[in-house]
Amino acid sequence: MSYSFLLVPIVSALLAQIIKMIINAKKGQFSWDEFNSYGGMPSSHAALVISLAAMAGYFEGWNSFAFAFAFILALIVIRDAGGFRRVLGYHAEELNNIIHTLKPTEGYKYPHLNEIIGHTPLQLFAGSLLGIAVTVLYIIIF
């Protein structure tokens, strides 16, 4: 098992990022920058923390401190990704609208803010399912 507690959740998150890139490529929006982006389908944050919680529950026990800790961490991360960070995206959108109405200042260019920061409930659900699927696949194979 050795590093599987680290590797399986990381593989889940990486797979989510790769899936995001594929989805965007099918929309004609391929960019290597998407690999490090926030937001989008599926949520790599949800995939990572749910996979970690599932690994802890399966290998350490569903009544263990490790599972409880990982599960609570997962709830915090998922709520943050779907709540606070999503609201930040709305704020960025409004700020970008304001920036576009401003006249450029000499020597200064107003930055364009990233508007896709958080996740929708569906993106969080898909990321969670991916995290569980990768973990179950690991358990079955190894």
Angstrom distances, CA of residue 48 to CA of 26, 88, 96, 99, 101: 24, 22, 31, 35, 40
Whether the pLDDT of residue 118 is over 90: the answer is no
Across the chain, mean pLDDT equals: 89
pLDDT at 1: 57
The larger pLDDT score, comparing residue 24 to residue 122, is at 122
Structural tokens at position 125: 């659900």
CB atoms within 10 A of CB 102: 8
| Mean pLDDT value across residues 118-129 | 94
Q: For residue range 20-76, list pLDDT tens digits in order.
A: 999 988 988 777 776 677 788 999 999 999 999 999 999 999 999 999 999 999 999
| Alpha carbons 128 and 134: distance in angstroms, whole number | 10
- Confidence grade of residue 112 (pLDDT, cut at 50, 70, 90): confident
pLDDT at 107: 65
The larger pLDDT score, comparing residue 21 to residue 108, is at 21
Residues β-bridged to residue 105: 108
| Mean pLDDT value across residues 3-32 | 90
Structural tokens at position 139: 């358990």
Question: At what angle are helices 65-82 and 121-141 packed, to 10 degrees?
Answer: 150
| Alpha carbons 107 and 60: distance in angstroms, whole number | 58
| Mean pLDDT value across residues 9-21 | 95
Structural tokens at position 28: 């004609």
pLDDT at 56: 97
| Mean pLDDT value across residues 101-114 | 76
